């Protein structure tokens, strides 16, 4: 209404138990901050979150292996208390089906599919925190064959957000989703598209000729001293111990380029658990359980160079402080507070607390 703040006061939210809308005391905090100047060093620690394989939807009550609502509430708490400035997704953004269709293959190709899987669960984040998605096999023709990819671009406003970046080579959108985001002078986030499409038979989209100039520019050989944090993120994991999805070996030529470019860490999803691997000086994280969970012990630790893993629903909380980084895998709220999930090593040894890396 004229002269009134937008969406002020208590909001109505979907309640899966009621199967209807209810007021739970939530209202918007309509504030946002722009990202740090890309020409200046980061003046303070910078924190971001990473979520993967989340879009199971909250229309119905959560189950043991569909935990989007609970992980989303923890993410919201982290944004409130931990100064989270942006969110990366490692893909498989939407799985939800529309139940009234006879053919109920997982989808995301209709705007309706996005309410319960995205706009409602992250409602109190989307108004103040930018989200940077990557494309998973469930967002592309690799697994689903309609226009899911177009809906991801549309619903994240990617064409509008990246129109200038496309012109200057900082983004490469057709056909695929490649872009980089500078946060201060010393942090660069690089979205890579590792999915397959029918129109490109030679392999994953990062092999497509259209994107080679972007990759050249993004993965230039770096002098490690002062190179800062150059962090690729994508859906498919170069290293994964399973139990269902294992190493994506056709990504491994890209890993040599990562090393030359001074990459220290990368994030991916696809397998619905947490995994931390170390290979050739790079720390690899699989974070694919911000909604969908796969229980069970991975089975190829040696191939995946696994350090630790967990089959607990979670998201990642990453803080960069100069040359140091901490990565925390945060699970569902415990008594309303953030809690790190317990991790185990390949020999079942216990790992706890933040993972610390440095340049
Ligand atoms: Fe996937």
Residue tagged 């397998």 (tokens): 271
The alpha carbon of 289 and the centre of ligand 1 are apart by a number of angstroms equal to 11
The alpha carbon of 209 and the centre of ligand 1 are apart by a number of angstroms equal to 24
Residue tagged 């108004």 (tokens): 127
pLDDT number for residue 100: 46
Which range is most confident: 106-115, 132-141, 292-301? Answer: 292-301
Query: Computed from CA positions of residues 270, 108, 132, 81, in that sequence, does the dihedral angle turn out positive or negative?
Result: negative
Here the contacts of 170-173 (C-beta below 8 Å, separation 24 or greater) are: 171/214, 172/210, 172/211, 172/213, 172/214
The alpha carbon of 51 and the centre of ligand 1 are apart by a number of angstroms equal to 13
Instruction: For residue range 14-56, list pLDDT tens digits in order.
Output: 999 999 999 999 999 988 899 999 999 999 999 999 999 999 9
For ligand 1, a single-atom ion, the residues with CB < 5 A are 92, 136-137, 270
Distance CA 116, CA 94 (A): 10
Between the alpha carbon of residue 18 and those of residues 61, 77, 274, 281, the distances in Å are 9, 23, 32, 50
The alpha carbon of 140 and the centre of ligand 1 are apart by a number of angstroms equal to 10
Cβ–Cβ < 8 Å for 330, 340: yes
* This prediction's pTM: 0.94
The alpha carbon of 305 and the centre of ligand 1 are apart by a number of angstroms equal to 20
The alpha carbon of 351 and the centre of ligand 1 are apart by a number of angstroms equal to 26
Alpha helix stretches (DSSP H) within the chain: 68-81, 113-114, 123-126, 148-155, 158-161, 163-168, 212-218, 252-260, 301-304
pLDDT number for residue 209: 94
Hey, how many other C-beta atoms are within 10 angstroms of the C-beta on 192?
A: 29
The alpha carbon of 191 and the centre of ligand 1 are apart by a number of angstroms equal to 16
By C-alpha distance, which of 54, 50, 59, 52 is closest to 115? 59
% of residues, the chain, pLDDT over 90: 74
The alpha carbon of 66 and the centre of ligand 1 are apart by a number of angstroms equal to 15
Band of pLDDT at residue 107, cut at 50, 70 and 90 = low
The alpha carbon of 23 and the centre of ligand 1 are apart by a number of angstroms equal to 34
Between the alpha carbon of residue 39 and those of residues 35, 88, 186, 231, 248, the distances in Å are 11, 22, 9, 18, 35
Task: Collect all residues with Cβ–Cβ distance below 8 Å to 43 and sequence separation of at least 6.
Answer: 36, 184
pLDDT number for residue 5: 81
Distance CA 55, CA 154 (A): 16
Starting from the edge strand earliest in sequence, which strands make up the sheet with 187-191, in order? Answer: 171-172, 178-183, 187-191, 229-233, 265-268, 282-287, 274-279, 306-310, 343-344, 350-351
């Amino acid at each position: 209404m004229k002269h009134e703040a937008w969406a002020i006061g208590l909001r109505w939210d979907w309640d899966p138990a009621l199967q209807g809308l209810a007021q739970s005391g939530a209202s918007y905090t309509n504030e946002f901050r722009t990202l740090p100047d890309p020409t200046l060093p980061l003046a303070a620690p910078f924190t971001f979150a990473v979520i993967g394989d989340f879009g199971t939807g909250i229309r119905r009550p959560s189950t043991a292996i569909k935990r989007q609502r609970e992980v989303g509430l923890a993410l919201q708490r982290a944004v409130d208390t931990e100064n989270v400035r942006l969110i990366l997704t490692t893909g498989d953004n939407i799985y939800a089906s529309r139940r009234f269709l006879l053919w109920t293959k997982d989808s995301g190709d209709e705007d309706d599919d996005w309410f319960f899987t995205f706009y409602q669960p992250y409602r109190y984040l989307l108004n103040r925190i930018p989200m940077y998605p990557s494309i998973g096999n469930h967002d592309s023709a690799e697994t689903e064959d309609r226009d899911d990819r177009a809906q991801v671009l549309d619903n994240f406003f990617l064409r509008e957000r990246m129109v200038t970046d496309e012109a200057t080579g900082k983004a490469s959108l057709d056909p695929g989703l490649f872009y980089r985001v500078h946060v201060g002078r010393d942090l660069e986030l690089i979205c890579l598209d590792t999915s397959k499409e029918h129109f490109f038979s030679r392999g994953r989209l990062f092999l497509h000729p259209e994107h080679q100039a972007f990759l050249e520019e993004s993965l230039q050989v770096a002098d490690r001293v002062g190179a800062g944090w150059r962090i690729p993120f994508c859906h498919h994991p170069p290293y994964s111990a399973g139990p269902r999805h294992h190493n994506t070996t056709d990504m491994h030529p890209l890993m040599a380029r990562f090393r030359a470019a001074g990459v220290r860490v990368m994030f991916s999803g696809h397998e619905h658990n947490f995994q931390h691997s170390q290979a050739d000086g790079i720390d690899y994280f699989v974070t694919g359980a911000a909604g969908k969970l796969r229980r069970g012990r991975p089975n190829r630790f040696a191939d995946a160079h696994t350090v630790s893993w967990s089959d607990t629903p979670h998201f990642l909380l990453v803080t960069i402080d100069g040359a140091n980084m901490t990565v925390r895998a945060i699970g569902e709220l415990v008594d309303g507070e953030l809690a790190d999930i317990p991790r185990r090593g390949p020999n079942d040894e216990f790992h706890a607390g933040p993972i610390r890396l440095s340049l």
